[in-house]
Every structure is written in C-alpha cells, then in structure tokens.
Structure 1
C-alpha cells in the first residue's frame, strides 16, 4: 500500500510541475515578493496531495516565536518536505542553494523565479562573497532568508557539520536567527521513493539576536538548540534508525 500511495504522489507531482514551471516563467515581470507568493502555491498543492495520497502531514510548534521583522531561518534539513513547509509557515523567503539546482528542467525554472541565493560551493571564497552580496539584495526586496547550515540533507540520527556562513551573513545584515527543528527524514528519507504515513513535527525556536555576536558562537548555539530538540522528540517515525 505504501508503494501505491507513493506512486500516486509522484504521479501528481509529475503532472503539476511542468505547467507550473512554465507559469513561473510567465510571471517573471511581476514584483519579486508577489511572484514568490504566487509560486508557493506549488508547495501548498503538493503538501495537500502528500496528505491525501501518503497520509503524511505536519504539525507546527512555536509559531509565536516568529519575529515581526525580517530574519534568517536556520533549519535542520532531512528531506524535501521542509523546503515546501517552510514557505507555508514563514513570510516570503529565499533559500540559499547550490547553483547546480537551477539547471534542472522545470524544477530549476520555478526555483529561479523565486530569486534564490545561488552559490558555487566548489569555490568557498566566491560562495561567501555571493552569499553576502545577494543576501543584502534579498533583504532590501523584503525577503527573509532560509539556510540549511549542514549544507545537505542529513539522515535521522546523524549530525552534519554546521557551517557559520549563515550566522556571518545575519550579523552583517543586522537580522536575528530563527532556529528550526524538523524530523521529516523519519517519514520521508533522503533520496527515498517511499513516503510513510504519520505526522512530521516542525518546531520553531525563539529568535536569537546577532548584535555583537561571534559567528562561530552563534552557530554552536543554533546547533545545540536544534539537536537537543531533535533528540528530545518523544516519538520516532518508521524510518528512524533502530
């Protein structure tokens, strides 16, 4: 049954994504933030479809911690679920992504229309320069910024290296960090075709003031909060290591 449900989900995604990508190209002349609000409709539909086909839903804890002004969201990355769900919870945002994603057919077209901060991770000094330059531009246009500090999806029960680039950018922009914990990989594992039924938890922490802070110290504080909250989850999904 899980196989059938997962096939239905992927089939729906394959049907909706190409025309939506073309639509994204057509609305490029619109103001950036308005364009992003429209494009997030793709995520909203797919999350609804995920619940219908696979019985996989999400719950949000700590929405009262979302600040009024712009901020940098620093989120645990375990699956594709949070890339869609974050857009439903926070104000219009841009993701810090690897530049190669923009080359993907259809998906890359839509992604480019959301004005992401696309960096070349093979060149660290150039990547940091692009992060700072594009980050300032996105904040000026009214966006929030979302970064996955481990740089890639991490399997449940594992911990990647938290990089300080996001904290460094937040300090330079004078915006707070908002830590976010998710356990999506326990139901939707990395690179897995199957989606298991259940309820994913997203927990939002209190914003952290970056004024006068050291980027390494800030990164450790965010890491400690995310990993502590993840370890304290009372229930484990079907894909958590036994």
Structure 2
C-alpha cells in the first residue's frame, strides 16, 4: 500500500504542475500573483501528502513569527519544507540555485514568482546579485527563505552553515527567524517514497540582525537550530506504515 500511495501522489504532482502553470499565467499580471498561485499549489500537495500518504505536521513556536517580513533560516532535509514553509509563513521567495529554473513547469513557475536564483560558481558576484535581488523582494513586501547549509542534509546530519543568510540579514536589515524540522525522518533525501507520520516544525524567536558580526549572527542561528534538531531528530525513524 505504501508504494501505491506514493505512486498516486507522484501522478497527481506531475499532472497538476502543467495545469497549475498554465492556469496561473493570467495571475502573473497581478502583484504577487504568481506567488499566490504557487502557495495554492503547495497547499494542494500538502493536502495530498496528508490524505494519501498520511504525512502530517505540527508547528511549535508559531507565536514567534513576527509581523514584519524577515528572513526564514531553515534546516533543509527534503522537498517537504519547500511546500510547507509557504503555508506556515507569509508570502515568500526562496534563495535557490539557478539550475532549478530549467525544470519544466516547476522551474518556470519559480522564475515567474521572482525567486532569488544564484550561480554558486560565481562566488562574490553571486553574493552581490543575491543582495541586490533581496532588496527588491523586501521592497515588494516578501519574506525571504534561505537554507543556510546550501543543500538538503540527511536526517541527523549537520552541514556547514554559510554566511549568506547573515549577510543578507545585516544588509537588508531583516531579522533571522530560525526553523528546525525533521522532515528527513519521513521523506529521505533523494527518496521516491514518503512515509506516514507527523513532521515536527519548531520556530524560534527572531534573532535581531543587529546582533554582533555576520559570523556571530549565523552562529546564534546555527546553535539554536541544531539544539532543536537533537530534540526532534529520529522521531520518525520507525515509519508508521
């Protein structure tokens, strides 16, 4: 049954992508229109995960979400959080690698939604571009989501936290909101199968962008996230079929 439920989910995802893209095109003429369409599609896929796969989630610390736009600095273990963070937080754009723009329909939708795509091979130039685009997204009223480890990590693993999020926070004068989660316990990196259960999402209090240096700011964010990861990692190690 697990395999069948996953096959059904993937079929729905693949069919819904072009439908979402073409139906959403007229909305791109409206302010934040593409982002609202993307959030609607994300909510539909989360509904499918809950009702077909049996994969739900709980949020702890929602009261810590500030009213003003901030930078969401989140752990990244699977594709799940790219959907769920859109439902948990206000409208946002992601800092992502530019190669994702090449994915049919999905990547094209990301481009229309003005995501901040970077070319990691360009180093300093890439950082300058990220900050420039960040200013524009802030002016448009968007939140910004960044995965400080730069890539998905397997459940229980800890990557190197890069300074991009802290640099963006200081330059744009936006606080960091740390997020810990254990999605990798149910949706393993590069895995076709998703398992039933309840993902834990923990949101911390905003970390002021004025806190110390870039290194100190990112260290504060990293320490908080990883302390929470110790508490929630492994809860889904025994999948609920």
How does the TM-score come out when normalised to structure 1?
0.95
Q: Does residue 1:9 correspond to 2:13, yes or no? A: no
- Residues 1:166 and 2:143 are matched in the alignment: no
Matched, 1:216 2:215: yes
Look up the match of 2:138: 139
After superposition, the CA RMSD in angstroms is 1.4
The aligned runs of 1:99-138 (5 Å cut-off) are: 99-138=98-137
The yes-or-no answer on 1:94 pairing with 2:93 is yes
The question of whether the paired residues in 2 share the 8 Å contact of 1:24 and 1:109 is answered with no
Deviation at 1:212, TM superposition (A): 5.3
CA distance in 1, matches of 2:238, 2:96: 26
Query: How far apart in 2 are the matches of 1:55 and 1:207?
Result: 31
Q: Secondary structure at the match of 2:190?
A: coil
CA, structure 1 residues 239+27, in 2 after alignment: closer, same or farther (shift >3 Å)? Answer: farther
Unmatched 5+ stretches in structure 1:
none
Once residues 235 and 34 of structure 2 are traced to their aligned partners in structure 1, the CA distance between those partners, rounded to angstroms, is 37
SS at match of 1:57: strand
2: distance between equivalents of 1:24 and 1:239? 39
Q: Distance in 1 between matches of 2:152 and 2:71?
A: 19
Displacement after TM superposition at 1:112 (Å): 1.3
Q: State the SS of the aligned residue for 1:28.
A: helix
Q: 2:75 matched to 1:62? A: no
Deviation digits for residues 50-91 of structure 1, max 9, x if unmatched? Answer: 111111011111000001111000000000110010000111
**TM-score with structure 2 length normalisation?**
0.95
Distance 1:22 1:35 in 2: 11
Matched, 1:195 2:190: no
Q: What is the distance in 2 between the residues matched to 1:236 and 1:60?
A: 15
Deviation readout 1:118-143 (Å, 9 max, x if unpaired)? 11111111110111100000000000
Does the residue aligned with 2:45 lie in a helix, a strand or coil? Answer: helix
Matches of 2:132 and 2:123, distance apart in 1 = 14
Unaligned runs of 5+ in 2: none
CA separation in 2, counterparts of 1:78 and 1:181? 10
Counterpart of 1:49 in 2: which secondary structure? helix
